[in-house]
Amino acid sequence: MAANAVAVVKAALRAVHGEEKADELSGYYLALEVKQVHAGMMIAVPATCWDEIARLETRAFAKRLKKIAAHVDLEQYRKSSRGPKKPPPKKSRYRNGGHVSTHKLLTGDDP
């Protein structure tokens, strides 16, 4: 259900702010916002208001969503961008100093 709610929110934001800005939004942050705000809205907003919204025609509902989406601060829901990758450290050829044959060790030859 949260995925559907996020899809509807993202569609409203896309309609108001444009495709490019909506693609910069994080689905995670939007879902988190829906999750955190839902319980409070169920307490603070009377059931009669929800009944009103439930009876709206599709076009009227979309119009109301777009009106609300126009006031959203998109910066709060932007995707986190990854910083530049660090180059891997230079590796020495042998971690343990290199291979010395057992034969050289037994015969006493200088490695």
* Nearest CA among 1, 69, 66, 74 for reference residue 35: 1
The per-residue pLDDT for 19 is: 92
> Which residues are CB-neighbours of 53 under 8 A, at least 6 positions away?
61, 64
- Give per-residue pLDDT as tens, 41-79: 889 988 888 898 889 999 999 999 999 999 999 999 999
DSSP letters spanning 33-45? HHHHHHHHHHHHS
The per-residue pLDDT for 90 is: 83
Report d(CA 12, CA 18) in Å as an integer.
10
- Give per-residue pLDDT as tens, 18-40: 999 989 999 899 999 888 888 88
In this predicted structure, the answer to whether residue 111 has a pLDDT above a threshold of 70 is: no
